[in-house]
Structure formats: structure tokens, C-alpha cells
């Protein structure tokens, strides 16, 4: 495609299927991981990423040409893609790994995403903006977006709480949450953004949209198709329960509470 | 091409292990704010010392910032030497402009085996970017670590699933430089020692002329209270505080009388009662103060992840079945709008 000043934007949103945030997880008896035979759903930060992509299109109308979602995971991750499609994404890519495969690391995922972006570019669908969650709520690593930006050699804005695209200027202004306040960044497109909780409130997919999502295309690929190896570099030796904390019981009134505080050495500071 | 690079790194690791008899050498990224070393960076320094080898500090900033802080950094116990680099582009450092300096510092032949930082917002942006540039993994938010020189492997523990499980992870010898960020509540801060004086070494900044990202501005929340992440006492409020006004009116007197920092649950932050820099939890700040008072906070998993390592947890909640009571050392079932003022009065006595 011939690039023009008003070339329309393509957005890619990587999503991850995680144990649902409300589930109280249990470590398995072998201490190799957690019991995953529980409810799963889309990583909450990724929902926010999908929502933001859809909202950008609602705001910028046809200046956003496509919203593609991608997931890397076992066969069941396809459900997560369908959820994203029902929220308003146009098409999906499922990079499927076997159920038995160890969880890929952020570096492997970032390499796979870069390979996918390269493929999209070759197909004339160059991606201008990648929006990811700031962290997955299972491994809590918070690395993939930054690693992807590094591999692509583009700018990054992490923990975004506000996103404004200037389509003509080919830049994106992002307000990001940092320790002690906020920072405003301006990234040249293409860029990578990761979402903070405050970016937006994700919508529920309506039943008609869920039905429509079933007809939207999902392309299936394997890591080998993309020429990437997702074998972890780090070794997980053990997964254990954290030390249990036991509640110390209740007191009946404020006097007893103050007495307990004083007993522990907490008095009014001078 | 990727594969050949990691192979190359692996080979380099082997040669280095052989040549230097596996003595670790950590590079600690030291952050500073308004002329003070960030408390969380002092914690990272302690963690770096636990590797059992030499520790070098790295300070970057504008020339004013760096000039003002080197005296303090030099006196930190455990630092043999301090590298410093000044440039206007480091005044408000962004990963795009800082990463090239570290890439250069860590390129083949460098003595460093570990790169360490606090798990701060700056490092969360920088470390993964740097790691990917070097084709290395990085380990986030570690709570303990040990290095085995004979196998040149480092073992870390870190919380996963919002702190509901603890993973033990080993970075093997095939990872020539181990990058990791440290949870600020997991180690004690490194002390200053006026008797020591680390050697200072200026480092030329690496100019980034065409950064894809530009820092526009920064808005910091001003507060006279202790910094939430480092406070020894924290008073925290939840959704039950009703609105921003009652949040402030109720919590401030108690925080004042105790000399405590103010925190908030995600519900309170989302509802706009408190600034989001005050959020305690999995996706906010992780705190482990001596005293944590949870007011009108039910105790969702995500909140507990941010405070359950506190020494003494006090909870006040109307709902006797709130999960917060399962972790609280002292619980009081009652209306916080009555309890808190009474508590303030009685503490003053």
C-alpha cells in the first residue's frame, strides 16, 4: 500500500487468558504451579486495552482502519479472543501452544509479537499502535510491552491513564501513572502503550455482539510459523503458598483498640 | 539472527565464569528525587550486596541533580564505586534515552554480572526495554535472592498471583547478566556510613538525538506526609468513606496524630476519593509498615496483596464478615465515622 499523509491506522491489541481476578488461587500439592482448573477470563488490563482501541475508533471514526487482537496460549485462549472480538475488535490471531507447554516468558512473547508485526507489515497492514495491559495478573511481571517496544525500536508509554492520537501528525500523547504522580509523554507512531486501570471502564459485550463475534475471522498460527521459540529461559523451581497470616480477633470498642495500639507501642507521634 | 545472538551471549558467559572465578559484580541503578536518594534504591542496594560480590552504583540526571547527590551516594555503605552521568536528557529520564547508556555499559567485556534496581515506575519502564535490547530476561519485584558462584546461577523468590503464591525462579549461567528489580519492602535500606567514600567515576552520556518519545511534563502530587512506600505507619481508606471530602476529613486527623502516610483502596481511588498515587494493592503501591490501619476497606485479594506484610494490621469495618478481618491483628466492627474521631481523641490523650 502506498503510504500517504492520511494513511489510516491499524491497531494491534495482545490479550492474555488468565485465572479470573476474583478466584482465590490454590498452589498444587507438587508445588509446581497453581491449580488451573478454575474460572479463567481475559486479563483485566487487556480488557482495558481492547476497550481503549474500540474507543479510539469511536472517537476517530474511519481514521482507525482495523483493530486486531492476538493471543498466545493454549487452545482455550480462543475464548479470550472471542471476548475481545465481541467488545469490538475486527479480527483475531491465535498463536497456539499446547496445553502442556510451559508458560512463555515476556521476552518470547515480545519476539512472537514482533514477528507477527513484521508479517502484518509484509501483508500491507502495517501496525501503528500496539496497546497492551501493563501487567498480567497471574505472573505480575509487567514486561511484555516494554520488551516489544525495544525489539521494534519504537517509543513506549507505560501505565497509560489517557491516550490522544494525532493521526495527521503521526504522534500519540499519553498521560502515564508514575510513582508520586503523572507524566505526559509524546510518542511518534508506531508506538507501544500499556494500560493502567484508570484508562477506561471496559464495556460488557452485548449478546448480539457476542453472536456477531462468532463470525469474525480468527487466524491460527504456531510459534514455528513465526519462527520463534517460546521455551522459557528462567527455571521455575517451586511455587509455594505464602506464609499464612492469622487474624488476631476483634475488640469491642475504641478503648480496647487504643489499648492494643499502645501495647504495641503506637502512640500519638510528637 | 536472534538465535545466534543468544548463543553469542551464552558463550560470553562461559568465558567470563572461567576468567573471573565467578565473583558477582552488581550494578545498582540509584534513583533520586529532589536531591535525596530514593529510599527504594537503598533497599535495592541491600539486595545487591546479598549477591556476595562487588557493588557499583549508577547515578544519572541533569548536572545539577547529579552534582547535588554524589556526596550522599558516596557515603553509602556497600558501594565500592559510583558511576555518574550527567545530561539534560536525563533530567526527566525516559527509557528511550536511558537504555542506550546502560546498553553501552553492559556491552561485551563489561564486568557486571547483575543489574539491580528498585521496582519503581522508572525501572518498570527501563529494565524490560534494556533486557530485550540485550536479549536477556529480567525478573520483576523480587523479595529474596541468593547467588551460587559455583554454578553462576542466581535464585530469586517473587510473589505471583497478587501475592497469593511465591515463585522460586533460577536464572542459570546461560543468562550472562541477571537483571532484576527489588520489592521495596522486602529488604532493609542500606545505611550511610561517613567513614566510607566510594570512588567516583564520570561516565559520558550517550546522546539520543532522535528519541521516538518525548517527555512533555510531569505532575507530582505534593504532600507533607511521609512517602507512602516508605512510611512506618499507614492509614488507609476505602469506598466506605463516601466522597473525597469525607475521605480527607476522616483520615487526615488520624494520620496527623499518628504521623502516618495516607493510603487508599482501589475502590476509593476509582471513585475519585483519593489520588491514585495513594493506591495500595497489587497494581498500586506495596507497603509493609509497622502499623497499617484499614478503614472501610473490605479486603479484596488485590488490596491484601499490597499490605499483608505489614507488622500490625488494624481494621475498622461495619461488616463483621469482611475478609479484612481474616488478616487483621486487631479488628473493630463499627461505623468508622464514629470510631475514627473517637480514636483520634483517645490517642491524643
What CA–CA distance (Å, rounded) separates A247 from B313?
9
Size of interface A-B (CB pairs under 8 A): 250
**Is B339 annotated as belonging to a binding site?**
no
Of A107, A181, A236, nearest to B137 by CB-CB distance is A107
Predicted local distance difference test score (pLDDT) of residue B194: 87
Q: Determine how many CB atoms are found less than 10 A away from the CB of residue B72.
A: 15
Specify the DSSP class assigned to residue B175.
S
Q: Which residue has the higher pLDDT, B220 or A76?
A: A76
Residue A223 CA, chain-centre distance (Å), reads 19
Confidence at A270, pLDDT banded by 50, 70, 90:
low
d(CA A77, CA A94): 8
What pLDDT does residue B30 have? 97
Q: In this complex, do A250 and B94 lie within 8 Å of one another by their Cβ atoms?
A: no
The pLDDT assigned to B22 comes to 63
Alpha carbon of A241: minimum distance to chain B alpha carbons (Å): 5
A195: closest chain B residue by CA? B283
pLDDT at A244: 84
> Is B282 at the interface with chain A, CB within 8 A?
yes
Most B CBs within 10 A among A30, A141, A179, hence the mutation to make, goes to: A179
Chain A residues closer than 8 Å to B276 by CB = 161, 177, 198
pLDDT of B227: 85
CB contact under 8 A, A239 and B168: yes
Residue position matching grid coordinates 487483621: B328
In Å, what is the CA distance from B92 to each residue of A155, A185, B87, B167?
15, 11, 10, 34
The three-state secondary structure class of B47 is helix
pLDDT mean over A204-211: 95
Does the distance separating the beta carbons of A268 and B122 come in below 8 Å? no
Instruction: Supply the pTM of this predicted model.
Output: 0.91
Please tell me the CATH superfamily of domain A9-242, with its number: HUPs (3.40.50.620)
Contact between B122 and A178 using a beta-carbon 8 Å cutoff: yes
Q: Determine if residue B303 is labeled as part of a ligand binding site.
A: yes
> Are B132 and A146 an interchain contact pair (Cβ–Cβ within 8 Å)?
yes
Spell out the domains of chain B, with CATH numbers in brackets.
Answer: 25-202 (3.40.50.620), 233-348 (3.40.50.1220)
Per-residue pLDDT of chain B (349 residues; tens, 9 = 90+): 445 555 455 445 444 444 444 689 999 999 999 899 999 999 999 999 999 999 999 999 999 999 999 999 999 999 999 999 999 999 999 999 999 999 999 998 899 999 999 999 999 999 999 999 999 999 999 999 999 999 999 999 999 999 999 999 999 999 999 999 999 999 999 999 988 899 999 999 999 999 999 999 999 877 788 888 889 999 999 999 999 999 999 999 999 999 999 999 999 998 999 988 899 998 888 999 999 999 999 999 889 999 999 999 999 999 999 999 999 999 999 999 999 999 999 998 8
User: Residue A190: is the preceding peptide bond cis (ω within 30°)?
Assistant: yes
Contact B257 A268 (CB under 8 A): yes
Contact indicator for B316, B296 with CB cutoff of 8 Å: yes
Selection from A136, A132, A138, A135 nearest residue A152 by Cα: A132
* H-type alpha helices, chain B: 2-20, 39-49, 63-74, 95-106, 121-133, 244-258, 266-270, 301-304, 324-327, 336-348
What would the pLDDT profile of A134-182 be if each residue is shown by its tens digit?
999 999 999 999 999 999 999 999 999 999 999 999 999 999 999 888 9
Q: What is the pLDDT of residues A11-69, one digit of tens each?
A: 999 999 999 998 989 999 999 999 999 999 999 999 999 999 999 999 998 899 999 99
Domain boundaries, chain A: 9-242
Per-residue pLDDT band for A6 (boundaries 50, 70, 90) equals low
Average model confidence (pLDDT) for chain A? 94
Residue A4 contacts by C-beta under 8 Å, 6 or more apart in sequence?
none
Residue B16: the pLDDT is 47
Q: Which of B160, B219, B282 sits opposite A182 (nearest CB)?
A: B219
Give the one of A178, A234, A268 whose C-beta lies nearest to B170's C-beta.
A234
Residue B212: per-residue pLDDT: 97
Q: Is B20 labelled a binding residue?
A: no
What CA–CA distances, in Å, run from B137 to A88, A144, A238?
A: 34, 11, 18
**d(Cα B69, Cα B64) in Å, to the nearest integer?**
9
Nearest residue on chain B to A245, alpha-carbon basis: B327
Strands B36-37 and B165-171: unpaired
Residue B237 among known ligand-binding residues: no
Amino acid at each position: 500500500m502506498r503510504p500517504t499523509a492520511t494513511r489510516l491506522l491499524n491497531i494491534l491489541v495482545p490479550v492474555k487468558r488468565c485465572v479470573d481476578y476474583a478466584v482465590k488461587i490454590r498452589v498444587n500439592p507438587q508445588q509446581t504451579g497453581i491449580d488451573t482448573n478454575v474460572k479463567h477470563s481475559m486479563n483485566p488490563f487487556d480488557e482495558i486495552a481492547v476497550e481503549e482501541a474500540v474507543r479510539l475508533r469511536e472517537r476517530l471514526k474511519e481514521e482507525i482502519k482495523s483493530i486486531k487482537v492476538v493471543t498466545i496460549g493454549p487452545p482455550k485462549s480462543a475464548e479470550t479472543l472471542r471476548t475481545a472480538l465481541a467488545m469490538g475488535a475486527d479480527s483475531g490471531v491465535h498463536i497456539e501452544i499446547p496445553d502442556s507447554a510451559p508458560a512463555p516468558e515476556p521476552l518470547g512473547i515480545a519476539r512472537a509479537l514482533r514477528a507477527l508485526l513484521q508479517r502484518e507489515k509484509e501483508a500491507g497492514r502495517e501496525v501503528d499502535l500496539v496497546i497492551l495491559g501493563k501487567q498480567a495478573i497471574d505472573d505480575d511481571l509487567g514486561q511484555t510491552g516494554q520488551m516489544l517496544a525495544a525489539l521494534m525500536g519504537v517509543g513506549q508509554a507505560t501505565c497509560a491513564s489517557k491516550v490522544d492520537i494525532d493521526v495527521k501528525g503521526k504522534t500519540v500523547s499519553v498521560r502515564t501513572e508514575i510513582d508520586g504522580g503523572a507524566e505526559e509523554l509524546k510518542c511518534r507512531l508506531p508506538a507501544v502503550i500499556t494500560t493502567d486501570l484508570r484508562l477506561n471502564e471496559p464495556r460488557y459485550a452485548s449478546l448480539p455482539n457476542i453472536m456477531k463475534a462468532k463470525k469474525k475471522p480468527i487466524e491460527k498460527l504456531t510459534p514455528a510459523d513465526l519462527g520463534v521459540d517460546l521455551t522459557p529461559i528462567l527455571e521455575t523451581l517451586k511455587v509455594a503458598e505464602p506464609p499464612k497470616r492469622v487474624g488476631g480477633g476483634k475488640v469491642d470498642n475504641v478503648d480496647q483498640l487504643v489499648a492494643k495500639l499502645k501495647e504495641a507501642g503506637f502512640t500519638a507521634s510528637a | 539472527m536472534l538465535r545466534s545472538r543468544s548463543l553469542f551471549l551464552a558463550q560470553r558467559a562461559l568465558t567470563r565464569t572461567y576468567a573471573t572465578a565467578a565473583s558477582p559484580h552488581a550494578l545498582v541503578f540509584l534513583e533520586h528525587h529532589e536531591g535525596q536518594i530514593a529510599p527504594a534504591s537503598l533497599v535495592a542496594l541491600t539486595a545487591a550486596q546479598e549477591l556476595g560480590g562487588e557493588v557499583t552504583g549508577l547515578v544519572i540526571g541533569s548536572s545539577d541533580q547529579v552534582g547535588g547527590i554524589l556526596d550522599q551516594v558516596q557515603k553509602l555503605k556497600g558501594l565500592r564505586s559510583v558511576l555518574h552521568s550527567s545530561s539534560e536528557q536525563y533530567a526527566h529520564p525516559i527509557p528511550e534515552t536511558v537504555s542506550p547508556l546502560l546498553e553501552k555499559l553492559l556491552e561485551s567485556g563489561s564486568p557486571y554480572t547483575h543489574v539491580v534496581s528498585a521496582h519503581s515506575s522508572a525501572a518498570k519502564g527501563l529494565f524490560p526495554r534494556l533486557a530485550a535490547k540485550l536479549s536477556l530476561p529480567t525478573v520483576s519485584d523480587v523479595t529474596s535472592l541468593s547467588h551460587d558462584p559455583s554454578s553462576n546461577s542466581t535464585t530469586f523468590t517473587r510473589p505471583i498471583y497478587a501475592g497469593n503464591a511465591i515463585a522460586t525462579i533460577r536464572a542459570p549461567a546461560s543468562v550472562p547478566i541477571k537483571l532484576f528489580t527489588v520489592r521495596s519492602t522486602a529488604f532493609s535500606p542500606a545505611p550511610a556510613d561517613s567513614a566510607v567514600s566510594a570512588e567516583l567515576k564520570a561516565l559520558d552520556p550517550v546522546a539520543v538525538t532522535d528519541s521516538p518519545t518525548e517527555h512533555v511534563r510531569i505532575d507530582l502530587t505534593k504532600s507533607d506526609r511521609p512517602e507512602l512506600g516508605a512510611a512506618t505507619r499507614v492509614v488507609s481508606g476505602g469506598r466506605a468513606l463516601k466522597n473525597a471530602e469525607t475521605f480527607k476529613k476522616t483520615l487526615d486527623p488520624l494520620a496527623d496524630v499518628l504521623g502516618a502516610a495516607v493510603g487508599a483502596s482501589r475502590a476509593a481511588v476509582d471513585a475519585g476519593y483519593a489520588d491514585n498515587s495513594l493506591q495500595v494493592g497489587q497494581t498500586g503501591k506495596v507497603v509493609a509498615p509497622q502499623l497499617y490501619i484499614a478503614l472501610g476497606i473490605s479486603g479484596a485479594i488485590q488490596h491484601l496483596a499490597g499490605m499483608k506484610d505489614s507488622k500490625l494490621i488494624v481494621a475498622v469495618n461495619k461488616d463483621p464478615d469482611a475478609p479484612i478481618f481474616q488478616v487483621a491483628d486487631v479488628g473493630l466492627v463499627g461505623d468508622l465515622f464514629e470510631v475514627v474521631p473517637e480514636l483520634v481523641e483517645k490517642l491524643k490523650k
